[in-house]
Structure 1
Amino acid sequence: MKHYKTILVGLDGSANSLSALEKAGELARSMDAKLVLVTVVDHKLQVGFGGPGLEVNTLSAEQLEIKQEQAQKMLAHYQVKLPEKVKYQAVVVIGDPKEMLSEILPKKYQAELVIVGATGLNKLDRFILGSTAAYVVRNTKTDTLVVNE
């Protein structure tokens, strides 16, 4: 297996993202790699009526602040689940999760591997490979690992 120095892990609060974190922790420990734990706060407001939802507008500054605080709390919860002595950095960013996880953040942190859960919190995502995971696999130039629950 290729030796990775930096592994980027996309976390969204879903069961699959917890599985991704566990797998990332195992790999980081075995390779002495650094983890970059990332939660992307989507800046677009999703309005759904039982389906995948429609993007209708950007979130207000107040809404973004609330979502960022929630993301920070979630990351704090995830950090305690890492194996001892694993080096990590926890980051909350605002933007499009697909673009951030496939292009922007791997480049910024010089990640050699991106790990994401197979599906996210969206109900439609649970029936097929999640749209974010599928986008990352198709569009990143970085090695990718998609983890199921």
Structure 2
Amino acid sequence: MYQHLLVPLDGSSNANEALKEAISLAKGWDAKLLLLHVTDINQFGGYGRGLAYTEVIASMRENATELMDQAKKQATAAGVTVTTASLEGAPKQQITDVANDDENGIDLIVIGKSGTNAFSRLVVGSTTTYVVQHAQPNVLVVNDIAED
């Protein structure tokens, strides 16, 4: 059915559930996964470029690397072929750019219903909503598992 799945990851529980779903789908379809993390360095706006800013960005990049390493291990352990990409910028735009780039061959995006940045959702809208509205491939939105 689908052969190239894009899974945007931000460390949220919704993204983790999307990853689990994508791994299951990829196994069943013998599909490949592209795991994507976008470090939103734009969230700091014009707050300067001093030492504190540099340290925060370095920490964000380190966290992204750890997140992607763990996700790749999870997919690989399940026998799924996986590649990763880490970008910087506005997540909603980067996700749709990767999804819409014909060279990536993405035919399904598996994304969590909501991510980690509640403030951004309130001010500029949900990344998931944007992706659903602007991505060319089909989009599967995965809900987080409700806790008892």
Where does structure 1 lack aligned partners over 5 or more consecutive residues? 47-55
- What residue in structure 2 maps to residue 132 of structure 1? 127
Deviation at 1:66, TM superposition (A): 2.8
The yes-or-no answer on 1:70 pairing with 2:63 is: yes
Where does structure 2 lack aligned partners over 5 or more consecutive residues? none
Give the TM-score, by structure 1 length.
0.80
Corresponding residue SS for 1:35: strand
The residue correspondences of 1:1-149 to structure 2 (distance < 5 A) are: 3-46=1-44, 56-57=45-46, 60=49, 62=54, 63-82=56-75, 83-102=77-96, 104-106=97-99, 107=101, 108-123=103-118, 131-149=126-144
Deviations 1:11-61 (A, max 9, x none): 000000000000000111011111000100112134xxxxxxxxx337848
Q: Which has the higher helix share?
A: 2
Number of aligned residues:
135
Instruction: Check 1:120–1:131 CA distance in 2 against 1; reply closer, same or farther (3 A cut).
Output: same
Residues of 2 paired with 1:77 and 1:7: CA distance?
A: 18
Instruction: Check 1:64–1:29 CA distance in 2 against 1; reply closer, same or farther (3 A cut).
Output: same
Deviates more, 1:138-147 or 1:58-67: 58-67
Corresponding residue SS for 2:140: strand
Residues of 2 paired with 1:33 and 1:105: CA distance?
A: 17
Deviation at 1:91, TM superposition (A): 1.4
Task: Tell me, yes or no, if the aligned pair for 1:11 and 1:39 is still in contact at 8 Å.
Answer: yes
Residues of 2 paired with 1:145 and 1:44: CA distance?
A: 27
Q: Which has the higher strand share?
A: 1
Q: Which amino acid aligns with 2:140?
A: L
